[in-house]
Amino acid sequence: MIAFRDRLAAEQQRKQSCVVVGLDPRFEKLPEEFQRLRPGEAVAAFNRAIIDAVEDLCVAVKPQLAFYELYGAEGFQALRETVDYARDKGLLTLLDAKRGDMGSTAEAYAQAFLHPQGPFDADALTVNAYLGSDGVRPFLDLAEHHGKGVFVLVKTSNPSSGELQDLETDRGQVFEVVARMVDAWNCEAVVGGTWPEQAARARELMPRATILVPGYGAQGATAEDTKPSFRADGSGAIVNSSRGIIHATWPDGPRHAALTMRDELRAVTGTLG
C-alpha cells in the first residue's frame, strides 16, 4: 500500500499541477439546466460536469461537506456519487469536513469518511484539533492503516482566524503549537494562503507535511501568497479554489479558471522534479 502523501506527490509530478478544485455547489447558483433536477441529483450531475472539465488539470477535488448536508439524505447520496466518480477519473478526494471529536466518535467519523468499506471511502479528511491528540489519533490510525490522509487545521484562511490561532502562549502562538503536533503526528496540514507570514513559519515547523492551502482566488490569496507553503523545490503543498472555478461562467469558465490557476501556480513552484 502506498502512503497517501506519496500518492499525492506522484500525481502532482505526473500532472505538473498542485491544483485542488473545491466542490462547494449551491443548488440555487447552479446553471439553469441543473436546476431542473432535484437538489441532490443536480449537485451530483454538476459535480460530474466539473470533474469532466478539470480532471487533467487538478490532482484532487475537495467537496465541502456543509453543501451536501444542506440537502439531507439526498445530499449525502450526491456526495457518495461524487467521491466515486472522481476516484474513477483518477482524482484524489479530500473531504473538507473539519471534524473533531473524541474516542469512539472520532473513530466513527473516520470510518464514515475514510474506511474502504464505509459509505464514502475518500482519500483524505480535514480535521480540527481543538480537542487535542485523543481527538485526532483515531483519524490517524485508520488513515495510516488504509493509506489515507489527515489534514489538520493549523492556520485557517478566514479574517478572524487569529483570534484563537495567533494567541501568544508560553510555547509560541497557538497555530505554532498545533503545527508542532502535526509534525509529531506526521500528518498533513491546512494553512490559509491569506497568511503568507504564518505559512512560512508553519512550513518550517512541519517539514514533512503536505500543506493544503485554501484561500486562493475568491478569498483573496494570490499565487505568490501561496509560495511560503511550498518547499524550495516546489513540492509539499496543494492549493484549493472553489467558487473561483465552479462558479466561473458556464460552460467554459471552470476549465479556463482551472487552467489559469494551474499555470499561475506553476510559475511560482517551477517544474516539479
Looking at the annotation, which residues are catalytic?
98
Helix/strand/coil for 204: helix
Size of the site for a copy of itself (CB under 8 A): 60
Please report whether residue 35 would count as binding a copy of itself according to CB under 8 A.
no
Q: How far is the CB of 224 from a copy of itself (least distance, A)?
A: 22
Site map (CB under 8 A) of a copy of itself, residues 168-207, x = contact: xxxx--x--xx--x--------------------------
Answer for the pair 214, 201: CB distance below 8 angstroms, yes or no. no
The sign of the torsion formed by the CA atoms of 59, 60, 61, 66 equals: negative
Closest CA to 47 of 28, 27, 32, 66: 27
The nearer residue to a copy of itself, 118 or 196, going by C-beta atoms, is 118
Distance CA 30, CA 39 (A): 10
Distance CA 145, CA 160 (A): 36
| Segment near a copy of itself (CB under 8 A); pick from 10-18, 163-171, 196-204, 233-241 | 163-171
Enclosing H/E stretch for 144: helix 133-146
Q: How far is the CB of 112 from a copy of itself (least distance, A)?
A: 4
Task: Single out the residue of 17, 47, 64, 269 in contact with a copy of itself (rule: CB under 8 A).
Answer: 64
Closest CA to 190 of 211, 166, 207: 211
Task: Single out the residue of 13, 16, 45, 77 in contact with a copy of itself (rule: CB under 8 A).
Answer: 77
Closest CA to 226 of 19, 14, 62, 60: 19
Q: How far is the CB of 3 from a copy of itself (least distance, A)?
A: 25
Please report whether residue 117 would count as binding a copy of itself according to CB under 8 A.
no
Residue 93's alpha-carbon distances to 14, 70, 124, 238, in angstroms, are 17, 20, 6, 13
Task: Single out the residue of 17, 46, 75, 149 in contact with a copy of itself (rule: CB under 8 A).
Answer: 75
Residues belonging to the chain: 273
Residue 18's alpha-carbon distances to 26, 52, 69, 73, in angstroms, are 25, 18, 28, 32
The nearer residue to a copy of itself, 101 or 123, going by C-beta atoms, is 101
The C-alpha cell of 156 is what? 485557517
Distance CA 154, CA 165 (A): 8
Please report whether residue 26 would count as binding a copy of itself according to CB under 8 A.
yes
Task: Single out the residue of 23, 42, 58, 112 in contact with a copy of itself (rule: CB under 8 A).
Answer: 112
Please report whether residue 103 would count as binding a copy of itself according to CB under 8 A.
yes
Tally Cβ neighbours within 10 Å of residue 5: 18
Q: How far is the CB of 149 from a copy of itself (least distance, A)?
A: 19
| Segment near a copy of itself (CB under 8 A); pick from 7-15, 62-70, 197-205, 263-271 | 62-70
Please report whether residue 128 would count as binding a copy of itself according to CB under 8 A.
yes
Please report whether residue 268 would count as binding a copy of itself according to CB under 8 A.
no
Binding residues vs a copy of itself (CB under 8 A): 24, 26, 64, 66-67, 69-77, 80, 98-106, 108-109, 111-113, 118-120, 128-135, 153, 156-165, 167-171, 174, 177-178, 181
